[in-house]
Amino acid sequence: MGLFDYFRSPPSKSAALAKERLQIIVAHERGSRRSSPDYLPALKKELLEVVRKYVPIDQSQVKVHLDREGGCEILELNITLPDEEQRLGPQR
């Protein structure tokens, strides 16, 4: 610290406190975000295989999404089936 820094007010700790609080809250929120979705890709893949036994669909037609509200988790599945003609076409 240079001589002339003595004439200034001491550095504030305000930003340091902000950083510490942020690190804690962000780590906490990331933790709860990450703690489940790792099985979602596998779930999606297996779902795709099961549905494909009956209807030809592609990957983009299966949507899997996990939401949290309060203490409750909601697994949202969305499977779009192709148009009637496309579905019957190749099998006849």
Partner 1 sequence: MATVIVVTSGKGGVGKTTTSASFATGLAQRGYRTVVIDFDVGLRNLDLIMGCERRVVYDFVNVINSEANLNQALIRDKRVDNLYILPASQTRDKEALTKEGVEKILNELKQSFDYVVCDSPAGIERGALMALYFADEALVVTNPEVSSVRDSDRILGILASRSRRAEQGDPPVKEHLVLARYAPDRAHRGDMLTVEDVLEILGIPLLGVIPESPAVLQSSNAGVPVILEDGSDAGAAYGDLVERFLGKDLPHRFTMSQKKGFLKRLFGGS
Residues that bind partner 1 (CB under 8 A): 4, 7-9, 11-16, 18-19, 21-23, 25-26, 29-30, 33, 37, 41, 59-60, 63, 65
Backbone angles phi, psi at 3, to 5 degrees: -55, -45
**6 vs 92, beta carbon nearer partner 1:** 6
Q: Which helix (H) or strand (E) holds 68?
A: strand 62-69
**26 vs 88, beta carbon nearer partner 1:** 26
* Residue 53 Cβ vs partner 1, minimum distance, rounded to whole Å: 21
Between CA 52 and CA 64, with CA 58 as vertex, the angle to 5 degrees is 90
